[in-house]
Amino acid sequence: EITKEQRALIKAILDAYNRHQIPQDVTKKLLQEQYSAEENFLLLTEVATSQVQVLVEFTKNIPGFLSLDREDQIALLKGSAVEAMFLRSAQVLSKKMPSGYTEVLEERIRKSGMSEEFITPMFNFYKSIGELHMTQEEQALLTTITILTPDRPYVKSHEAVERLQETMLDVLRKLCVLQHPQEPQYFARLLGRLTELRTLHHYHVEMLTSWKTNDHKFTPLLCEIWDVQ
Ligand SMILES: Cc1cccc(C)c1-c1noc(C(C)C)c1COc1ccc(-c2ccc3cc(C(=O)O)ncc3c2)cc1
């Protein structure tokens, strides 16, 4: 019962999701550079900066996004960047990559100067995402739904964003029924991850503060999107 328009929407979002990837030379560095808290932090900063650029390009390809009020487009990106990156890094960490890449990324995150109180919930989230075994379409749609959250700070046309998000929620609901027929609660479980993302978002604000206090530097793009310094 997925309509023709909804199939076209899924295809557009999946193509955009797959087309916009972090360049290999950036992610390869995660494997090569030596280990130290400073080096890990620098590498994660570089990957996060590249990830934000990829996220902006992906978001521009979400059907309907560019017809939203321009200031709302910025408000949605700033409000959702951390959550979209938790989702993206979760998808990477939950795949057992042949290159031993997952372990390396996990190690660098664990040893990048963030306190233990953030590490535990973060890796619990990564585990809970891994257990869902999401398809590519589900990952792309869940990221889209996170970006189109109407109650981010400074969003003016709440209804316009809500209408767009509801379109995506309707598609994801149908897709979950189709792709996980034996798990009627699967869609509800996916939405439950969005609640967990909000909690991680709050932790992240504290992580940034503690990194700042220890005089860690961020790139101009991260400072802009995360309102740092
Ligand atoms: C530490 C942390 C955890 C979760 C979210 C954030 C923002 C932070 C976080 N909070 O601060 C920071 C930096 C600034 C220290 C971070 C680091 O964020 C990230 C963001 C993305 C990725 C990442 C890694 C590998 C990828 C491979 C591929 C691919 O192979 O296709 N694609 C995308 C990838 C993205 C890693 C860390």
Here the ipTM equals 0.96
Q: What is the pLDDT of residues 190-211, one digit of tens each?
A: 999 999 999 999 999 999 998 9
Within 6 A (CB) of ligand 1 lie 21-22, 27, 41, 44-45, 47-48, 51, 82, 85-86, 88-89, 92, 105, 109, 112, 218, 222
Centre of ligand 1 to C-alpha 102, Å, is 12
Centre of ligand 1 to C-alpha 41, Å, is 11
Q: 13: Cβ–Cβ under 8 A, 6 or more apart, which residues?
A: 61, 62, 63, 137, 140, 141, 144, 168
Mean pLDDT for 66-85 is 97
Of the ranges 24-33, 94-103, 113-122, 159-168, which is most confident?
Answer: 159-168
Centre of ligand 1 to C-alpha 152, Å, is 21
Q: Which atom of ligand 1 is nearest to the CA of 22?
A: 32
Q: Which atom of ligand 1 is nearest to the CA of 85?
A: 5
pLDDT at residue 97, rounded to an integer:
67
Q: Which atom of ligand 1 is nearest to the CA of 82?
A: 7
Q: How far apart are CA 148 and CA 142, in angstroms?
A: 10
Q: How far apart are CA 109 and CA 125, in angstroms?
A: 14
**pLDDT higher than 80, residue 71:** yes
pLDDT at residue 139, rounded to an integer:
95
Mean pLDDT of the chain: 93
Query: Of the ranges 12-16, 27-31, 40-44, 165-169, which one carries the lowest mean pLDDT score?
Result: 27-31
Residues in the chain: 229
Q: What is the pLDDT of residues 144-203, one digit of tens each?
A: 999 999 999 999 999 999 999 999 999 999 999 999 999 999 999 999 999 999 999 999
Q: 150: Cβ–Cβ under 8 A, 6 or more apart, which residues?
A: 158, 159, 161, 162, 165
Pull the structure tokens for residue 182: 């034996």
Q: How far apart are CA 146 and CA 50, in angstroms?
A: 19
Q: Which atom of ligand 1 is nearest to the CA of 114?
A: 1
**pLDDT higher than 90, residue 104:** no
Q: 175: Cβ–Cβ under 8 A, 6 or more apart, which residues?
A: 2, 10, 137, 138, 141
Centre of ligand 1 to C-alpha 89, Å, is 5
